[in-house]
Structure 1
Amino acid sequence: MAESLSLPAQRPRHSLGSALCTLIIATLAALLVWRGLNGLLPRELWWQALWSPDLDSPNQVLLHFSFAPRLLVSLMVGAALGLAGTLFQQILRNPLAEPVTLGVAAGANLALSVTTIWAPTLLIHGLEAVTLAGAGLATLALFSFAWGRQLSPLRFILAGMVISLYCNALNALLVLFNHDYLIDLLLWQAGSINQSGWDGVLYLAPRLAVAAALAVLLIRPLAALGLEDQSAASIGVSLRTTRGLGLLIAVALSAFVTSVVGIIGFIGLAAPAIARMTGARTLRQRLLWAPLLGAALLCLVDQCARELSRLVGEVPAGILTAVFSVPLLLWLLARQRSGGIQPHRTSLGQPTAHPWRPILLVAGLLVVLLIPAVFLAKGLHGWQWAEFSELHWRLPRVFGALAAGAMLAMAGLLVQRLTGNPMASPEVLGASSGAALGVLVLFLLVPQPQALMLPAASLGALLTLAALLWFAWRSAFSPERLLLTGVCLTTLMGALSTLLMASGDPRMTALMSWMTGSTYQVDAAAATTAVILAVLLGAAAMLLARPLDLLGLGNGTAAALGLRLSVSHLTILLLAALLTAAATLMVGPLSFVGLIAPHIARHLGVRRALPQLLLSAGAGALIMLLADWLGRNLAYPWPVSAGLLAAFIGCPYFLWLMQRERRG
């Protein structure tokens, strides 16, 4: 039986509710459009400015070449995303699926950045082929590693999240080394619908029309995908062909939109969800009302962004859509039946009878690697041993990386034990993204922010944690709700961080290195603080060994053995978030070490919580120490961020684990 994610059963209603909702949203958007038009020209000049503007009148030129095409593009992009979201959700039987949550938009985004730097001649004939290639590769990666015997919503959402994070990390690295060249592209990729002519309208109109026509032709076979696979096949539907064609249309629409306006989230999720909840129960009804709702929604959001930009400067519509998406995602999660997503409890390899042997092995490797990490480095005359006078700046980086790696590894193990899912990682908590956002805001508001980085990062992480705990409490600390709530908060924090990074402020350029995971700014005081925090928080984690072991048996068994689930979940979650936030201060918001290190412990046969914590901490410290040393020397004299190198290892490893689970 295919696993699906669905909303609670409700009485069938006519789609008049969708029509009424569309009318309300469209009316609000029309009022803002009317206000904008009146602010440009008198009513009697609107028609003239639209069809034959007076080129000597700035306001007529603005209406003809900017306001009008921007309005039409917002309508077409909203309709395209509503249609793409409906197709993704129908094919995957997952109401949380859309181009952003599946990583499709991030793949197209990265392809544009890569092409802009290394093959700009490919853009002469347009962006279509580039964005299609990027979106197609991201989709192939998603389905290669997440598709299994069952349609698992959790697997698809987590795989899409990791692919999106990986593409965004690569994009951040490209911007770091080509900031002046890519800063405008970064702002545009944040989702800007600004237009300077009619090219976007002429580009999108025929493509949207063809995609809509193909979707109409596929209504009957696509509707059968809502059944079980065996039932759909028994009535003559070719599952592979129908899914392939439907995905092709949805991916193409996502790529077309990205090539014109960058990444626009929320609409592909919100429009089908609102259509479904206001009465559009059948696929035919959703294919009609979701694009109309998407067009009205994006038009309303874009007009709000335009009004806001008059007060605070340019605000990309994509940022506002991301801000609106989080409440909707959380509301959807609250309405889903419990058990719609089931986490997996897996066991890799055979347990070892001597768990302390691998711990001693990793500790020995740490000591051996510590010597070259501190003393051996590449310089102007090649590899050479450092003098003691050079250690005052190298030792803080080394010990900062060690502490951060250990804390991330322990946080990853706590998250995986808590959720029962070996593919979870600290990113889903959102704490690292919240800490990064706190630092970015600090640098914009305070002239001398260095002394306040620790309080700002802690405040950002704690505020994010407070939101996470509140939503988790409302769902009784359900592990699957916890994971997806973290995805929501990470999406919001990432969108706000992108807006700040794209602001053009020179202080944001200085933080790009830290955002990608560099240890360059770690000094002796910061390293000492990190080591102390790692020891204290690690000791607290070890005190939770018994609850962690009991949770590995399942919530029901753990409760029967006397474990207070709510208290245990709350304590483990709080400690995991604190570990993640403290490590973020050292190496930025990338934490794929939290995924890799616990799996190393499992592959070495360690099953009990206490030795797993020790072995994971040692493995995480070893990985981050190696990444920091390689980052300082591989491309000398240009440093590569340690967190980014760890991410390059972590994402392929994550996808390999998904493929391993799928084959199993």
Structure 2
Amino acid sequence: MPEADSMSQVLFYYSTLPRIAMACLCGAALGLSGALLQRVLRNPIAEPSTLGISAGAQLALGATTIYAPGLLDLSREGVALAGGLAAMLLVLALSWRQGLRPVSVVLAGLVVGLTCGALSATLIQLNGEYLISLFIWGGGSLSQQGWGSVLALAPRLALGILAAALLLRPLTVLGLDDTAARSLGVALHATRLGILLLSVWLAASVVSLVGIIGFVGLAAPAFVRLAGARSPLWSPVMGAALLLLADTLTGTVPILGDDLVPTGAMTALLGGPMLLWMLPRLHALSGPADRGTGSGAGGRRSARPWLLIAALAAVLPLLCWVVLAAGAGDDFRELLPWRWPRLVAALAAGAMLGASGTVLQRLTGNPMASPEVLGISSGAGLGLAVLVLSVAAPGRLEQLGATTLGAALALAVMLLLARRGGFAPERMLLAGVALAATCGAALTVIMSSGNPRAFQLLGWLTGSTYSVEAPDALLAAGFAVIPLLLVAPLAARWLEILPLGETAARGLGIAIAPVRLCLILLAAVLSAAATLIVGPLSFAGLMAPHLARLIGLHRPLPQLAGAVLIGALLMGLSDWLSRSIAFPYQLPVGLFATLIGGPYLMWLLARPPGGRQGR
């Protein structure tokens, strides 16, 4: 009994107390970082997670752990700071031409964060199953085995609070417009840069020690404002209380049996809905949203659209021959049974994503809508995750049913939120990416359960087609052909009329509710089947309709056909390059498509507001 008491005391002193102290310190650091970012950017939903800072720091730490571990011995914090700062600079560059408008900044940050997260997951997968612990750590674990981390973070937080106290006057002045701030003697660029560096440093310090803990920096300043306090120095106090409460609930509320769940994953799971709740508060700050349409009426128009489609169709068999025969030599017959299922599955997934993206862009009147950006693919992934943990060996049809249900629910939530916001494009995108972040956090919670079956989800996250066999490929091709050839052309008239508005659509004999339901189900089934093959973040559903419009295909049926062919070509090319560019190693096809699609989406965000309008 005395030995048991002694062990309990040791655990309390070296594990429980340091964890409590770490929760308070991390919460305070993130609360202060979020308050500073919100002040300097005049953005009520800016914080390290929504601006991609935490994800950039985690990517830098993961890549350094794998490829240059010696740098971590020099300065783990320095590596995290470099990654977070690079992500922050990228976000500012993407939103600079929009004048750092709140919605533009946060949307760019969330896209950068999702892309960095996909790259981190891929690095982990490509370097063995033993690195799953790195993924779980990245979910934000406050577990402690001593006082070292506490003693490392405490002086940094003290310096941060002291610096923030000295910057109170400039912070107050920065809340005014730039002209007023200059007239009061504030050096705008130098002050903003200094405050941004301080914010990124605080966030990077937390990431380097415990991983990503999301949305505390969003919630703490929000609750401080709701309580009536004006000083940002109250945010560290609120952040400490919130994270300590979340950590306590994580340890006491059963979620996945007796398994421990990273606290950061739990805060992200709660923070995504909070971000959705706060979106209406952006109205006064963001200005009028740019109303685009999925019809893409602007730009060049082809006089012979079907000739262009025939040319695209002619390129497809040529690509198939290159993908199947490249590098095979005399081993073509032996390699063919391994290559063609992957190729067929990738082509089918690309075609379905292209069709789904076209339907979504026309249905929502939003030229940047796609299954990946609106969180539909992530919803499909969450449905798959629940099935994998519930059923020992689910078949493909069961997986398709689960992913379809998840995608349909995500799309329904998305459209409900969009309708309340008047279908404003940027609000829709922001809500979609927040929904994707929430589903991603739920996936992290599930993968942290320790269940061996959860690891296969990591391969799915990166869009690996390694395990695709002939029956899977034929099933994917069937699901691509049936809705694309039989259902989608019948919907062409609906897609032509719906962007005109409800009044015009009813006047032309369209039953709005049933038609929208049919289109939602079509988009959900296509998204779910494609997501099952190439993962949640390929961006083919965004790029294919855009590229179809760029070559002059604007009418619904030609654009749909062009997007289907372009999506298939993109994913087929990605499949070939993913196994060739780093030979003998093979990159997941979903990752390779993300490496193309992520920068493409960032380029769209960086364009002037008028450049994104569809008509």
Identify whether the pair has TM-score above 0.5, normalized to the shorter chain: yes
User: Which residue identity is paired with 1:645?
Assistant: F
d(CA) in 1 for partners of 2:508, 2:424 = 19
Counterpart of 2:354 in structure 1 is 409
Give the match for residue 404 of structure 2. Answer: 458
2:220 aligned residue: 271
What is the Cα-based RMSD across aligned positions, in Å? 3.1
User: Which residue of 2 is the match for residue 188 of structure 1?
Assistant: 137
User: Is the contact made by 1:399 and 1:527 (CA closer than 8 Å) also made in structure 2?
Assistant: yes
Q: Counterpart in 2 of 1:618? A: 565
1:135–1:70 Cα change, 3 Å: same
Sequence identity (%) = 49
Q: Deviations over 1:115-144 (max 9, x none)?
A: 111111111244110100110111111111
Q: Which residue of 2 aligns with 1:28?
A: none
What residue is the counterpart of 2:6 in the other structure? 57
Q: Per the alignment, do residues 559 and 133 of structure 1 end up closer, same or farther by CA in structure 2, a change over 3 Å counting?
A: farther
- In structure 1, give the amino acid aligned to 2:310: L
Distance 2:423 2:432 in 1: 12
Distance (Å, rounded) in 2 between the aligned partners of 1:384 and 1:237 = 72
- 1:22 equivalent in structure 2: none
Q: Does residue 448 in structure 1 map to residue 397 in structure 2?
A: no
Q: Which amino acid aligns with 1:136?
A: L
Q: Decide whether the 8 Å contact of 2:538 with 2:591 is kept in 1.
A: no
Name the residue aligned to 1:296. Answer: 241
Q: Residue 568 of structure 1: CA displacement?
A: 6.3
Q: Which whole-Å CA distance do the structure 2 matches of 1:358 and 1:490 have between them?
A: 35
Q: Which residue of 2 aligns with 1:353?
A: 303
Does the CA contact (< 8 Å) of 1:378 and 1:384 recur in 2?
no
Give me the whole-angstrom Cα distance separating, in 2, the residues matched to 1:464 and 1:343: 24
Counterpart among 530, 542, 546 of residue 583 in structure 1: 530
- Give secondary structure in 1 for the equivalent of 2:473: helix
SS at match of 2:327: strand
Other-structure match for 1:118? 67
| Whole-angstrom CA distance in 1 between matches of 2:361 and 2:103 | 14
Q: Which ranges in structure 2 are unaligned for 5 or more consecutive residues?
A: none
Q: What do the CA deviations read for 1:407-445 (whole angstroms, capped 9, x no partner)?
A: 112222333344554444322332211222232333333
Pick from 492, 501, 506 the counterpart of residue 438 of structure 2.
492
The aligned runs of 1:274-423 (5 Å cut-off) are 274-280=223-229, 282=230, 284=231, 287-308=232-253, 312-334=258-280, 337=283, 342-345=289-292, 349-374=299-324, 376-378=325-327, 383-384=329-330, 386-387=332-333, 391-423=336-368
**Corresponding residue of 1:516:** 462
* Equivalent residue, structure 1, for 2:87: 138
1:296-334: CA deviation from partner (whole Å, max 9, x where unpaired)? 000001111122479512111112111211332222235
List per-residue Cα deviations over 1:606-646 (Å, max 9, x = no partner): 33232222111111100101111222334444332111111
Distance 2:75 2:523 in 1: 46
Q: Secondary structure at the match of 1:57?
A: helix
2:478 is the counterpart of 1:532: yes
Deviations 1:163-188 (A, max 9, x none): 11221111111111223442222211
Residue 266 of structure 1 and its aligned partner are, at CA, apart by 1.9
- Are the equivalent residues in 2 in contact too, given 1:501–1:509 (CA < 8 A)? yes
TM-score (norm 2): 0.89
Query: Contact 2:363 / 2:516 at 8 angstroms: preserved in 1?
Result: yes
CA distance in 2, matches of 1:360, 1:431: 31
- The equivalent residue for 1:8 is none
Structure 1 residue 99: deviation in Å? 1.0
Measure the CA separation in 1 of the matches of 2:607 and 2:462: 29
Pairing of 1:20-35 with structure 2 (within 5 A): none
Query: Match for residue 209 of structure 2?
Result: 260
Amino acid of the structure 1 residue aligned with 2:277: W
* Contact 1:154 1:343 (8 Å CA) reproduced: no
Query: Contact 1:343–1:421 at 8 Å: present in 2 too?
Result: no
- Aligned residue for 2:171? 222
Q: How many residues align?
A: 604
> 1:229 is aligned with what amino acid?
D
Assess if the C-alpha contact under 8 Å between 2:368 and 2:429 holds in 1: no
CA distance in 1, matches of 2:517, 2:530: 20
> Which amino acid is the alignment partner of residue 322 of structure 1?
A
CA deviations on 1:8-67 (whole Å, 9 max, x unpaired) are xxxxxxxxxxxxxxxxxxxxxxxxxxxxxxxx99xxxxxxxxxxxx99911111121111
Matches within 5 A, 1:102-113: 102-113=51-62
Equivalent residues of 2:141, 2:263 under 8 A apart: yes
- The answer (yes or no) to whether the contact 1:111–1:134 under 8 Å persists in 2 is yes
Alpha-carbon offset, residue 564 of structure 1 = 7.4
TM-score, normalisation: structure 1: 0.83
Q: Whole-Å Cα distance in 2 between the matches of residues 143 and 627 of structure 1?
A: 29
Q: Could you tell me how far 1:470 is from its partner in structure 2?
A: 4.3
Q: SS in structure 2 opposite 1:237?
A: coil
The structural deviation recorded for 1:226 is: 2.7
Which residue in 2 is equivalent to 1:434? 379
C-alpha distance in 2 between matches for 1:253 and 1:317: 18
Structure-2 separation of matches of 1:372 and 1:205: 58
Cα distance in structure 2, aligned partners of 1:92 and 1:557: 41
